[in-house]
Amino acid sequence: MNLSVGIVGLPNVGKSTLFNALLKKQVALVANYPFATIEPNVGVVEVPDERLPVLAKIVQTEKIVPAAIEFYDIAGLVKGASQGEGLGNQFLAKIREVKVIIHAVRLFNDPNIVHVHEDIDPKGDIDTIESELMLADLATLDKQPKGSPAVFESIKARLNQGQPVRDQTLTEDELESIKPLGLLTLKPVIFVFNVSENQLNQPPDPPNQPSLYLCAKLEAEMVDFSPAEQQEILNQYNLKETGLNRLIKVAYDTLGLMSFLTAGKLEARAWTIAKNTPAQQAAGVIHTDFIKNFIKADVVSCADFVRIGGWVKAREAGLVKTVGRDYCLSDGQVVEFKIGT
């Protein structure tokens, strides 16, 4: 499963700085003027997983393949984006490609960095972006032919009342009917509040939805530091992890994702799946042919696998469970699939 994340927000809120920090290198152009990013920058980030090196050592492999996330740095949206303002249509099309939206919101105050609305107003900024996404969804629904499902009109009515699609109570059948439309406000949103270093110690109360506070400038400055040096800096702000690690955990939780692990002579690897995925479907993440040729799977907790010292000893100790196609994998299980031909 490819996890793709789009970073959106008003111009000059720190999106590209955040993107650079996440990728741990200078990729995106950082500039003090709107629309410095025209094409979205795309980068693949490894999901940190301390279990993989341990597993690799046990099974004696040098190849480690962590799960990955694609981050899209999408240019700043402005009021009128849904009508094409600021190259809005081009940018909105890019958002349709991602599974979750990171909405970067500026809380830091820096007179040297212009703000399109002149004043720091996080609620107003959030409302501007959300309004443009809802207007874009209304435009999409308006283009649907006559005879479209009645739910389309119901969704339009609630959008006109200021209710994004993700907050509308829809049945599974209704969600399936609108899936081809790629509605923007159906996508889950994670708010990332970009604060100053001083604000890290006293962040405001979080909103009642997925969010986190970080200082993109500080995260970018720590890129070239060693892990020990990074931790020393984080300790000054009572933080246990970098913004990247915290953001990945929030994204996984928001989308209901988890990882299972495989460990053998070829590689130690993490695979991303949705929670409560049956073993047969999980096998398809490795190769689609594994679904139809699935026979069974051997599973063991990572903790037991590490404690006992690998597959052979885990089987001898009765720690390995053989499961069928409908067994739902748990986060962190080490799995070996048995596949027919």
Give residue-wise pLDDT tens across range 14-70: 888 888 888 775 444 443 433 334 455 778 888 889 999 999 999 999 999 999 888
Q: Are 339 and 292 in contact (CB under 8 A)?
A: no
Cβ–Cβ < 8 Å for 280, 269: no
Dihedral over alpha carbons 272, 275, 276, 280 (to 10 degrees): -10
Those residues with Cβ within 8 angstroms of residue 95's Cβ, 6 or more apart along the chain or in another chain: 6, 8, 74, 101, 133, 184, 187
Name the β-bridge partners of 191: 103, 211
Query: According to the model, what pLDDT value does residue 89 have?
Result: 53
Mean of pLDDT over the chain = 86
Block residue for tokens 């089987």? 315
Cα-based torsion angle of the residue sequence 316, 319, 322, 327 in order, rounded to the nearest 10 degrees: -170
Q: Which CATH number fits domain 276-339: 3.10.20.30, 3.40.640.10, 3.50.50.60, 3.40.50.2300?
A: 3.10.20.30
pLDDT for residue 34: 38
Domain span(s) for CATH 3.10.20.30 in the chain:
276-339
Q: What is the pLDDT of residue 271?
A: 96
Using alpha carbons, select from 215, 270, 210, 259 the residue that is nearest to residue 237.
215
Model pTM? 0.84
Question: Is domain 1-48+67-255 given the CATH code 1.20.1640.10 in the classification?
Answer: no
> 39 Cβ partners below 8 Å, 6+ apart?
none
Length of the chain: 341
| pLDDT < 50 stretches in the chain | 26-38, 81-82, 84-88
* Region for 237 from its dihedrals, namely left if φ exceeds 0, alpha if ψ lies in -120 to 50, beta otherwise: alpha
- Which residues of the chain form CATH 3.40.50.300? 1-48+67-255
User: Any idea which residue has 């970080």 for tokens?
Assistant: 214
231 to 83, 181, 228, 302, 319: CA distances (angstroms): 45, 44, 5, 26, 36
